[in-house]
Amino acid sequence: MKLGYVIHYVPDVGATCAYYKAAFGLETRFIADGEFAELVTGDTALGFADEKFVETMLGPVQRNRPDTPPAGIEIAFVVGDVEIAYRKALLHGAAVVAPPTQKPWGQVVAYVRDNNGALVELCTKAR
């Protein structure tokens, strides 16, 4: 088995793609009718799907919003310099959760919330 996609349900696919480009430097691979998009993120694709579209197929889902606690999942990006990535994300509107911290196992890790309220980890590669 191989992880192929992580799909984040969002209220506005186009706005979320634009945000992830500005805050995290990610390019959009493609966008389909404003209902689905994929970013260029390596072997595993990060996708965004319109919440209303998803709910027509699956029924109600827990929505991430900046003013409510995040859902119990995170998007993690491995970066060369966590401090730089963290500052860039904050510059583009990410909300602080936890600043860059050196962990006992060797990683540097920071947490922010994206424009929709989802939890995003910025970290160095695990050793």
Identify the pLDDT of residue 127.
77
Identify the pLDDT of residue 89.
98
List average pLDDT for each run of 10 residues in the chain, which is 127 residues long: 95 97 96 94 94 96 94 95 98 98 96 98 93
Q: How far apart are CA 19 and CA 93, in angstroms?
A: 9
Identify the pLDDT of residue 126.
87
Identify the pLDDT of residue 17.
97
Map out the domains of the chain with their CATH numbers.
5-123 (3.10.180.10)
What are the E-state strand segments in the chain? 5-10, 28-32, 36-39, 45-50, 74-78, 95-102, 108-113, 119-123
Q: What is the dihedral of CA 37, 58, 114, 34, to 10 degrees?
A: 30
Identify the pLDDT of residue 114.
98
Structure tokens at 6: 């992580």
